[in-house]
C-alpha cells in the first residue's frame, strides 16, 4: 500500500449535523397534518414522494420542501389550506438557514491533518445549499478543493480523481454513508473510512450482502483518524 496523499471528507453528518434537521422538520410536518390524519402513513408517503421525485429534483432541501407539499396535498385530498402550505415552505426555509453545527473533534482533527495531507470535501446535493454550508461552517480554509456532485457513485469518484490527477491508491474517503462514501470508493480501488452517524436517511442504507468482501475501515470517532492513517504507512 502506498502512502495516502489525499483525504476527502463527506460533509453532511461527517463534518456537521444534517439528518437530525430533516428529522426535526419531518416531525413538525407531521404535527401540521395532525388535524387531517395520524399515524405512520405520513412518513411512508413522504419517503415515497422523495424517492419518486429524486429523478427530477435531485438531493437537497428544495426538493424535500416540494415533496412535503405534494404529500400534504395528497394525504389531505387537497383540503390542506394555503396558510398550512406556507408553513411547510417556512419550515424548509428554516432548514436552509439552520446554523451549522460542526461535529465534535472535526476541526481539531482536520487541523492536525492539514500539513501532512491534501484535504478535500466531496459532497452531494444542492450546489447552492452546500456552498452556503461550507462557507458558514468556517471549515473552508482547510480544504484545497471542494467537489459538489449530484450523485456519489463510481463514475463521479473516477471523474474527481482523474480531474485532480489523484492516484486511487493514494486517496482515502471519510464519510458516514456506506452507500455514498464507502462502497463506490472501494470499488474504484481507493480507500475508505466509515464513521457512522447516529441517524441515517433510509435511502442511504445498504443491505449486508452489498458490503460483504469490501475492505474498508470503521472508526467510532473522527479523532481516531490520524492514528489510523499512520498505521496505513506501516502496512
Q: Which is nearer to a second copy, 54 or 102 (CB)?
A: 54
Select the residue interacting with a second copy from 19, 43, 107, 131 (CB under 8 A): 131
Check if the beta carbon of residue 197 is closer than 8 Å to that of residue 19: yes
Q: Can you give the length of the chain in residues? A: 235
Under the binding rule (CB under 8 A), the answer on residue 70 touching a second copy is: yes
Burial profile 127-147: b = 16 or more Cβ within 10 angstroms, e = fewer: eebbeebbeebebeebbeebb
Under the binding rule (CB under 8 A), the answer on residue 230 touching a second copy is: no
Under the binding rule (CB under 8 A), the answer on residue 100 touching a second copy is: no
Pairwise CA distance, residues 120 & 212, whole Å = 28
Select the residue interacting with a second copy from 43, 47, 76, 214 (CB under 8 A): 76
Check if the beta carbon of residue 126 is closer than 8 Å to that of residue 151: no
Under the binding rule (CB under 8 A), the answer on residue 33 touching a second copy is: no
Number of shown-chain residues binding a second copy (CB under 8 A): 35
Select the residue interacting with a second copy from 44, 81, 105, 210 (CB under 8 A): 81
Under the binding rule (CB under 8 A), the answer on residue 126 touching a second copy is: yes
For the bound state, the minimum distance from the C-beta of residue 73 to a second copy, rounded and expressed in Å, comes to 4
Q: Which is nearer to a second copy, 1 or 73 (CB)?
A: 73
- Edge to edge, the sheet with strand 191-194 lists 145-149, 118-124, 6-9, 171-175, 191-194, 217-218
Q: How far lies 110's CA from each of 120, 139, 140, 178, in Å?
A: 10, 9, 11, 21
Under the binding rule (CB under 8 A), the answer on residue 96 touching a second copy is: yes
Pairwise CA distance, residues 5 & 113, whole Å = 11
Check if the beta carbon of residue 102 is closer than 8 Å to that of residue 16: yes
Under the binding rule (CB under 8 A), the answer on residue 63 touching a second copy is: yes
Under the binding rule (CB under 8 A), the answer on residue 73 touching a second copy is: yes
Under the binding rule (CB under 8 A), the answer on residue 50 touching a second copy is: no
The secondary structure of residue 109, as a DSSP letter, is H
Under the binding rule (CB under 8 A), the answer on residue 39 touching a second copy is: no
Residues at the site binding a second copy, with contacts judged by CB under 8 A: 56-59, 62-63, 65-66, 69-70, 72-73, 76-83, 85-86, 89, 92-93, 96-97, 126-129, 131, 148-150
Amino acid at each position: 500500500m502506498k502512502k495516502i496523499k489525499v483525504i476527502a471528507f463527506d460533509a453532511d453528518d461527517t463534518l456537521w449535523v444534517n439528518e437530525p434537521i430533516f428529522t426535526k422538520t419531518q416531525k413538525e410536518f407531521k404535527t401540521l397534518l395532525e388535524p387531517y390524519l395520524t399515524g405512520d402513513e405520513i412518513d411512508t408517503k413522504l419517503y415515497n414522494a422523495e424517492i419518486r421525485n429524486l429523478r427530477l429534483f435531485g438531493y437537497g432541501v428544495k426538493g424535500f420542501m416540494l415533496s412535503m407539499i405534494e404529500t400534504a396535498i395528497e394525504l389531505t385530498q387537497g383540503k390542506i389550506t394555503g396558510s398550512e402550505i406556507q408553513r411547510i415552505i417556512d419550515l424548509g426555509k428554516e432548514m436552509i438557514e439552520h446554523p451549522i453545527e460542526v461535529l465534535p473533534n472535526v476541526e481539531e482533527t482536520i487541523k492536525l491533518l492539514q500539513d501532512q495531507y491534501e484535504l478535500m470535501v466531496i459532497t452531494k446535493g444542492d450546489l447552492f445549499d452546500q456552498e452556503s454550508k461550507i462557507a458558514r461552517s468556517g471549515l473552508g480554509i482547510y480544504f484545497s478543493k471542494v467537489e459538489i456532485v449530484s450523485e456519489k457513485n463510481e463514475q463521479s469518484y473516477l471523474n474527481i480523481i482523474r480531474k485532480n490527477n489523484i492516484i486511487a491508491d493514494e486517496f482515502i474517503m471519510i464519510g458516514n454513508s456506506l452507500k455514498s462514501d464507502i462502497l463506490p470508493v472501494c470499488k474504484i480501488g481507493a480507500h475508505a473510512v466509515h464513521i457512522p452517524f447516529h441517524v441515517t436517511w433510509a435511502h442511504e442504507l445498504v443491505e449486508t450482502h452489498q458490503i460483504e468482501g469490501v475492505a474498508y475501515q470503521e472508526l467510532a470517532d473522527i479523532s481516531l483518524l490520524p492514528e489510523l492513517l499512520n498505521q496505513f504507512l506501516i502496512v
